[in-house]
Amino acid sequence: MFSDIRFACRQLIKNPGFTATSLITLALCIGANLVIFAVVDAILVRPLPFPRAGRLVTMYYVYPKLPSASPGASTTNYYERRAKIPALSSLAAIDENTSVIGESGSTSIERLGRVTSEFFSTLGVAPLLGRAFTDAEMTYQTDHVAILSYEYWRSAYGADPKVLGRSIRRDGVMCAIVGVLPPSFRFLSFQAPVYVPLSSEEAERNVGSRHSVGKVLIGRMADGSQLADVQAQIDALDIQIAPQFAEAKLVADAGTHTVVAPLQADHVAPVRPMLVLLQAAALFLLLIGCINLVNLLLVRATNRAKELAIRRTLGAGQRHIVSGVMAETMILAVVGAVLGLWVGAVGIRFLGILGVDQLPLGAEVAFNGRIAVTALLGAAVVGACVSVPIAWFNLRGGLALALKSESRGGTADVAALRLRRGFIVAQIALAFVLLTGAGLLGTSLRRAMAVSPGFRPDHVITGQFNLTWNGYRTLDTFHTFFDRLFERTRALPGVSAVGAATSVPLAGLTGGDVMTVPGYTPASGGEGLLVHDQIGVAGDYFEAMGIPLRSGRFLEPADAGLDHQVGLVDEAFALHYWPGGGAVGKQVYLGTDTGPDNKPFTIVGVVGTVKQAGLTEHKARGTLYFPFSREYLRKYVLVARTQLTPDSVANTLVKVVREADPDVTLSDLRSMEVRVSDSLSTRRSTALMAGIFAASALLLATIGIYGVMAYAVAQRTREFGVRIALGARELDVLRLVFVEGVRLAAVGLAAGMLLALLLTRYMSSLLYGVGSNDPLAFAGVAALIALVACLACLLPARRATRVDPVVALRAE
């Protein structure tokens, strides 16, 4: 064995061209796999960084027949289920929020985790300093306490060991610091510097708020319990308490039930198809690379057929031959893997550019020992697989044949060539699948980018701000602030319109509400409740965002003084309820109550529909816009249209907001064009990655075709010489080579098309505006591969025409 390795090393060093080509191919293919595997491992495979994380579950309502309703859990769920589910040893809730943190004049908007008492213990995390929250702290009167993250404790409090005596200013209220969390604590993808109690009042805990979803509920399964036990017990409880809810029938008609799911799997479910797809693509690439490697090795085996025959004559057994082959492929694979590790490590660093850290658990992606070990194990498998056809080739046929092959015009060559042709067909097929997949993703991206968002995203800057609780208790304070803010902003050079809204398009909606239109009878077939978006707006929001008015009028400052409430709806809303037109003047109730206590909105105008959830959302939910003053909403997005480039006014805007109220901070400043582009970032990265893989696959396949054709031509030099002597013209020879190449390509394409037809359907959830069997994509890829195959044949074909018959026929 040792002598095999030494001999293999000597052979590899003696053929630097072959060795380098093989190693580069392997390094790139293994590297590509590692990059994706690092993401797959961090997101899909590796357990969450909590003790016995597999025992953690999440649970939430779904409303299957109410596609417009978002799934979620409520504070009520938490109080109703707590200690009622024996299969859960503990239950907790978190509200992922933001808050204004810091002293007046130097505030910042920070993420804020509002959590129940057992939140940290459910996860299995104990505070580094101090304590967790208590049940008694879960009311608005007693919730002035906070727990800091380790990182925030270090950066904002200099890791003060006596921090527990100090306090932190949150939304203008001082909160006593009662604890510090251990380093790098993170709940799934949510990492907050400050945690506070998930305080609530009675009305938020009772049955009326059961479906006011928006919280995340987690539980730890009791020892001996399974997911199915939790599910069964929650289902039973749901049934038992269902009748208490006022709209029990509507809820039941919507098919409402609670989903219990493993915490991690549920969190990463949206990106699973994309990651699986990319990993599959990377594996395809590796397969293609391996085929090239096998083909290169077969050429060498052919050239060494005589040497092997001699070895066998001298008594080398099958075992010797196989171990000789294995030594060589294993050395290649392992060295390739080491280089691949380096490629992967570099690649992983570039993942940030593709927005991988924005994926669920994406922040966990890193190069680590697990990945290195996986790479080496994978390489061993690759080495073993690659050696199989080579060993077969070397052992094939009797010894007499091997020795004779030299004299009788290369039967060894014919067998090797046939094998290599088979591999090329497979390679073309795999490349076809990869290219089709990438093409479909690219087309989807193009289609998505071509979607009109319903507003004019150019020259619009947006920024988020929160109003503090204690500073803004009355409507007047809101008005004063907004008037001051808008006045100053409007005075800025270049600003043509300014407004604010509780949510802007593509920003991740704050949630919708059930609405009732008097006189409207729901269509039969389950349409009981319809959830629509509701958005509070201030100032000239529609002009600033560039949302067109279709009929009626925009909202005006004077609307706040009216004794009835007015609002706007978008076209989707208007068309749903009044397909014939005439929405203006009609009334809409929030919720299902149409009694005297619930004042309706009178519609004064209809505006264009905008893409709220995403450019590729299938159907608009319909939106009701109302003056911001209706509710004491505290989170706003400032929207300004400017003649200057949006980024150039960002800093000025921050200053203006700060001047309007030192406690308010403008953050997350992005132009709408950037928001539009960001909303497609996952789609773009997927398409880009798939594109890179497909291009590499095409390149490798081209090299593969070229290699086989060049070799075939070299083997047939004599034949071409004879043909030329007999009067074959250049064209006859060219045709001969091309026909061969085209035949290979055609068989490969046919196989690839079948394979793609079978496989692309699994990616349909990632596609937009294009079918998974899009004939155009298939035809385009087929044409591309055919073209590339012809190019790959070009050089060998020309070489064939250049064969000098005198030389070719003399060479014996």
Partner 1 sequence: MPQSLLKLDNVTKVFLTDEVETHALSGIHLEINKGEYVAIAGPSGCGKSTLLSILGLLDTPTEGTYLLNDRPVQGLTPAERARIRNRQIGFIFQSFNLIGDLSVYENVELPLTYRGMPASDRKARVEEALEKVGMAHRAKHVPSQLSGGQQQRVAVARALAGYPAVLLADEPTGNLDSKNGDAVMELLHSLHRAGSTILMVTHDTRFARHAQRTVHLFDGRVVEESVEEKA
The residue within the footprint of partner 1, chosen from 16, 165, 727, 775 (CB under 8 A), is 727
CB of 411: closest distance to partner 1 in angstroms? 8
Which of 730, 743, 765, 776 binds partner 1 (CB under 8 A)? It is 730
Does 723 bind partner 1 (CB under 8 A)? Our answer is: yes
Q: Tell me the closest approach of the beta carbon of residue 803 to partner 1, in angstroms.
A: 11
Dist CA 632 CA 736 (whole Å): 80
* 810 in contact with partner 1 (CB under 8 A): yes
| Interface residue with partner 1, options 719, 734, 751, 757 (CB under 8 A) | 719
744 binds partner 1 (CB under 8 A): no
Using the rule CB under 8 A, is 446 a contact of partner 1?
no
Six-digit token string for 221: 């399964």
Task: Quickly list H helices, 255-317.
Answer: 263-268, 272-303, 305-313
52, 131, 349, 408: residue in contact with partner 1 (rule CB under 8 A)? 408
User: Among 721, 748, 752, 796, which residue interacts with partner 1 (rule: CB under 8 A)?
Assistant: 721
Closer to partner 1 by Cβ: residue 630 or 735: 735
Q: Which string of b and e fits 439-475 if b means at least 16 CB within 10 Å?
A: bbbbbbbeebeebebbbbbebbbbbbbbbbbebbeee
Tell which one of 101, 724, 749, 770 touches partner 1 (CB under 8 A): 724
Our CB check for partner 1 shows the closer of 672 and 803 to be: 803
72: contact with partner 1 by CB under 8 A: no
Q: 396-423 burial, b if ≥16 CB within 10 A, otherwise e?
A: eeeeeebbebeeeebebbebbbebbbeb
* Minimum separation from the CB atom of position 785 to partner 1 (A): 26
* Least Cβ distance, residue 413 to partner 1 (angstroms): 10
Site string for partner 1, 790-809 (x = CB under 8 A): ---------------xx--x
Distance CA 661, CA 651 (A): 16
338/401 with CB nearer partner 1? 401
Rounded least distance, CB 710 to partner 1, Å: 18
- Binding piece for partner 1, criterion CB under 8 A, among 83-91, 266-274, 653-661, 713-721: 713-721
For residue 181, give the amino acid letter. Answer: L
Token pair for 650: 């960002």
One-letter amino acid of 797: A
Contact pick of 722, 746, 757, 786 for partner 1 (by CB under 8 A): 722
Where does this chain touch partner 1 (CB under 8 A) — which range of 80-88, 643-651, 655-663, 717-725?
717-725
**Choice between 349 and 408, CB closer to partner 1:** 408
Q: In the complex, what is the shortest distance from the CB of residue 781 to partner 1, in angstroms, rounded to a whole number?
A: 32
Report in angstroms how near the CB of residue 759 gets to partner 1 at its nearest.
36
- CB within 8 Å of 689: residues ≥ 6 apart: 36, 278, 281, 354
Distance CA 297, CA 291 (A): 10
Taking CB under 8 A as the binding criterion, the range among 103-111, 123-131, 442-450, 718-726 that sits at the site for partner 1 is 718-726
Q: Quick one: 143 or 413, whose CB is closer to partner 1?
A: 413
Amino acid at 226: Q
Cα gap 119→121, rounded to integer Å = 6
Binding of partner 1 by 230 (CB under 8 A): no
Residue 58 phi/psi, 5° resolution?
-125, 160
Query: What does the buried/exposed string (b/e) look like for 60-92 if buried means 16 or more CB atoms within 10 Å of the residue's CB?
Result: bbbbeebebbbebbbbbbbbbbbeebebbbbbb
Q: Counting contacts by CB under 8 A, is residue 96 touching partner 1?
A: no
Q: Which of 131, 446, 564, 729 binds partner 1 (CB under 8 A)?
A: 729
Stretch that binds partner 1, among 202-210, 436-444, 695-703, 725-733 (CB under 8 A): 725-733
CB of 807 to partner 1, least distance (A): 10
Do 470 and 99 meet the contact criterion of CB atoms below 8 Å apart?
Answer: no
CB of 727 to partner 1, least distance (A): 2
Cβ neighbours of residue 322 closer than 8 Å, sequence gap 6 or more? 387, 391, 395
Q: Which residues of 640-649 are buried (b: 16+ CB within 10 A; e: fewer)?
A: bbbeeebeeb
β-bridge partners, 259: 60
* Residue 638 CA to its chain's centroid (Å): 28
3-state secondary structure of 774: coil
Q: Looking at beta carbons only, is 249 or 802 nearer to partner 1? A: 802
160 by DSSP, 3-state: which?
Answer: coil
Write the binding mask 409 to 428 for partner 1: x where contact by CB under 8 A, - elsewhere.
Answer: x-------------------
Q: Which residues contact 311 (CB under 8 A, 6 or more apart)?
A: 320, 321
- In DSSP notation, 41-103 reads IIIIISPPSSTTGGGEEEEEEE-TT-TTSPPBB-HHHHHHHTTT-TTEEEEEEEEEEEEEESS
Residue 407, interface with partner 1 (CB under 8 A)? no
**Contact status: 269 vs partner 1 (CB under 8 A):** no
Q: Is 439 in the site for partner 1 (CB under 8 A)?
A: no
Q: How far is the CB of 735 from partner 1 (least distance, A)?
A: 11
CB of 750 to partner 1, least distance (A): 23
Quick count: other Cβ atoms within 10 Å of Cβ 776? Answer: 12
Residue 732 binds to partner 1 (criterion: CB under 8 A): yes
Instruction: Return the H-helix or E-strand segment holding 201.
Output: none
Can you tell me which of 346, 381, 725, 776 binds partner 1, judged by CB under 8 A? 725
Number of residues that bind partner 1 (CB under 8 A): 20
Q: Least separation, in Å, of the C-beta of 31 and partner 1?
A: 41
B/e letters for 591-607, b = 16+ CB within 10 Å, e = fewer, are eeeeeeeeebbebbbbb
One-letter amino acid at 47 equals P
- Assess 552 for contact with partner 1 (CB under 8 A): no
Question: 35 vs 736, which CB is nearer to partner 1?
Answer: 736
**Considering the rule CB under 8 A, would residue 812 count as an interface residue with partner 1?**
yes
- Binding partner 1 (rule: CB under 8 A), the pick from 83, 400, 450, 726 is 726
**Crossing angle of the two packed helices 369-395 and 411-450, in degrees rounded to 10:** 140
- Which residues, 6+ apart, have CB-to-CB distance to 249 below 8 Å? 528
End-to-end alpha carbon distance in the chain: 37
CB of 708 to partner 1, least distance (A): 16
- Which of 361, 601, 718, 745 binds partner 1 (CB under 8 A)? It is 718
Query: Considering beta carbons, is residue 737 or 749 the nearer one to partner 1?
Result: 737
Say if CB 94 and CB 216 are below 8 A apart. Answer: yes
Of residues 757 through 786, those in contact with partner 1 by CB under 8 A are none
Shortest reach from residue 718's CB to partner 1, in Å: 7
The single residue among 217, 728, 763, 781 that binds partner 1, judged by CB under 8 A, is: 728
We find the least distance from the C-beta atom of residue 797 to partner 1, in angstroms, to be 16
- What single letter denotes the amino acid at residue 492? L
Strand 108-115 versus strand 194-197 pairing type: parallel
Q: Which residues bind partner 1 (CB under 8 A)?
A: 408-409, 718-719, 721-730, 732, 805-806, 809-810, 812
